[in-house]
Structure 1
Amino acid sequence: MKRILITFENGESFPATLKEDKAPQTCEKVWEALPLCSVVRHSRWSGRDLNFAIKSNDLPKRENQTILTSIGEVVYWRDWPLETDSKVNEVIAIYYGAEHTRSNKGDELVNVFAQIDYTHFELLETVGERIWLNGTEKIKIEKLIENE
């Protein structure tokens, strides 16, 4: 079982478990890209969602897709109709509330590839609201190697 650690610049950290059974290729592509450091911003269209752009070397296929997300889910999104375009937009998003994924174009399918541990949901909501009110914040996602 692979796990990641999501850390925000104010020091909050959230362990999450990859859903390798539901989105194996997406999990593999994200795992290979770690660590990721970026600036996260609040969603304009999908409600309680923090997201940042990424650039992968090889685009994951559609896996475990939905337009309905739950608190603590970590998802991968891209411009799916542009699958062969090398300049396709890609995003990782973290949901701090149940939402309907959408953009100015309408419903947007996402690959759900990780789940933040439920014990951190209250703190995740606090971080999400802080970024919503205050703007952008630095984020780091890295491999979480735990002692067995």
Structure 2
Amino acid sequence: MTNIRIKAGPYEFEAKLEQELAPNTCAKFRSMLPFRSKIIHVRWSGEGCWIPLGDLDLGLTYENHTSFPAPGDIIVYPGGISETEILLAYGGVRFASKVGQLAGNHFLTITKGRENLTALGKMTLWQGAQDIVFELA
């Protein structure tokens, strides 16, 4: 099992790569580590934060995809009818964009620090974009 350390705003999390369920997505994400960006609050999906990736082509198709990630699930939308993005659910999420419901590949699950998910989400909602870093644990 491969673990990923996530630093988002003032919070630290640890997550496991879902290699058996999303092997291609996990391999692609690992090749991008360390990954640094900004996380912002979602507009359409409910209680989640996202990292917009624009027209970045990750070369991925659907695997282990869902429209309803659970709190602590991290999904990647590989692009198509909306822009490429990574989404972190901290509460109830129905993954969508302005064009309607989407599905993303569930490839990471937060295993440590889950008690801080809501605080991160609310901080992002009320205080704006937060720095986020993903790296091997």
Contact 1:49 1:94 (C-alpha < 8 Å) held by counterparts: yes
1:48 Cα deviation after fit: 1.1
Q: Partner residue of 2:50?
A: 51
Q: Partner residue of 1:106?
A: 100
Alignment deviations for residues 17-65 of structure 1 (CA, whole Å, 9 cap, x no partner): 0101110000000011001111110000111111113476641221011
Identity of paired residues, percent? 27
Aligned residues: 136
For structure 1, which runs of at least 5 residues remain unmatched after alignment?
Answer: 82-87
- The answer as to 2:22 corresponding to 1:4 is no
Alignment deviations for residues 102-127 of structure 1 (CA, whole Å, 9 cap, x no partner): 1111110110001001x522211111
Q: Partner residue of 2:134?
A: 141
- The answer as to 2:32 corresponding to 1:33 is yes
- Normalising by the residue count of structure 1, what TM-score does the alignment of the two structures yield? 0.84
Q: Partner residue of 1:84?
A: none
For 1:43, the aligned partner's letter is: V
**C-alpha distance in 2 between matches for 1:73 and 1:132:** 18
- The correspondence of residues 81-120 of structure 1 with structure 2, limited to 5 A, is 81=81, 89-117=83-111, 119-120=112-113
Could you tell which deviates more after superposition, 48-57 or 135-144?
48-57
Q: Partner residue of 2:16?
A: 17
Q: Partner residue of 2:65?
A: 65
**C-alpha distance in 2 between matches for 1:109 and 1:79:** 10
Structure having the higher strand fraction is 2
Query: Highest Rg: 1 or 2?
Result: 1
**C-alpha distance in 1 between matches for 2:106 and 2:73:** 7
Contact 2:47 2:90 (C-alpha < 8 Å) held by counterparts: yes
Contact 2:61 2:78 (C-alpha < 8 Å) held by counterparts: no
Alignment deviations for residues 74-128 of structure 1 (CA, whole Å, 9 cap, x no partner): 10013235xxxxxx832111110131111111110110001001x5222111111
**C-alpha distance in 2 between matches for 1:125 and 1:58:** 29
Contact 1:29 1:56 (C-alpha < 8 Å) held by counterparts: no
**C-alpha distance in 2 between matches for 1:91 and 1:58:** 10
- Normalising by the residue count of structure 2, what TM-score does the alignment of the two structures yield? 0.91
Against the structure 1 CA distance between its residues 30 and 56, is the aligned structure 2 distance closer, same or farther, given a 3 Å change threshold? farther
Extract structure 1 runs of 4+ deviating beyond 6 A.
none
RMSD after superposition: 1.7
